[in-house]
Amino acid sequence: MWKKITGVRIPNQSPSSQWDITIQDGKISSVDPHDSTAPDSKTSDTLDGGNRLLAPSLCHAHIHLDKCFLLQDPKFKDLQIERGDFKEAMEMTGEAKSRFAEDDLLRRGRQLIEESLRYGVTAMRAFVEVDGVVQLKCLGAGLKLKEEFEDRCGVQICAFAQLPLFSGADGGAETRHLMATAALYDKVEVLGSTPYVEEDEAKSKENVDWITQLALEHKKHLDLHLDYFLDEHKQPLIWETLKIIKGLKWTGNGCKKQITFGHCTRLIRFRKEEWTRLEQEIGELPVSFVGLPTSDLFMMHSPEKVRGTLPVIDMIHQHRLNAAMAVNNVGNAFTPYGNCDPLRLAALGVGLYQAGTNKDAELLYEAVSSRAKAAIGYRFTSLGLEPGQPADFVLFDRMDSGWRCRKSIAEVVYDSGEERHTIFRGRGTFSTL
For the chain, the domains span 4-57+382-431, 58-375
| pLDDT by 10s per residue, the chain, length 433 | 889 999 999 998 888 899 999 999 999 999 999 987 776 667 788 999 999 999 999 999 999 999 999 999 999 999 999 998 889 999 999 999 999 999 999 999 999 999 999 999 999 999 999 999 999 999 999 999 999 999 999 999 999 999 999 999 899 999 999 999 999 999 999 999 999 999 999 999 999 999 999 999 999 999 999 999 888 889 999 999 999 999 999 988 678 899 999 999 999 999 999 999 999 999 999 999 999 999 999 987 666 777 889 999 999 999 999 999 999 999 999 999 999 999 999 999 999 999 999 999 999 999 999 999 999 999 888 898 999 999 999 999 998 888 889 999 999 999 998 899 999 999 998 777 6
- CB neighbours of residue 401 within 10 Å: 16
Buried b (16+ CB within 10 A) or exposed e, 274-294: ebeebeebbeeebbbbbbbbb
Instruction: For residue 351, give the 3-state DSSP assignment.
Output: helix
Q: What is the rounded CA–CA span in Å between residue 335 and residue 344?
A: 14
- What HEC string does 108-151 produce? HHHHHHHHHHHHCEEEEEEEEECECCCECHHHHHHHHHHHHCCC
Q: Which CATH class is domain 4-57+382-431?
A: mainly beta
Q: What is the rounded CA–CA span in Å between residue 336 and residue 353?
A: 23
Euclidean distance between the first and final Cα of the chain, in Å? 18
Sign of CA dihedral 386, 390, 394, 395: positive
At 279 the pLDDT is 96
At 429 the pLDDT is 86
Residue 343 and residue 57 in contact, taking contact as beta carbons nearer than 8 Å: no
Q: Which CATH class is domain 58-375?
A: alpha beta
Q: What is the rounded CA–CA span in Å between residue 250 and residue 158?
A: 19
Q: What is the pLDDT of residues 70-102, one digit of tens each?
A: 999 999 999 999 998 889 999 999 999 999 999
At 302 the pLDDT is 65
Instruction: For residue 28, give the 3-state DSSP assignment.
Output: strand
The residue type at 324: A
At 367 the pLDDT is 97
Give Cβ neighbours of residue 242 (< 8 Å, ≥ 6 apart). 281, 282, 285, 287
pTM of this structure: 0.95
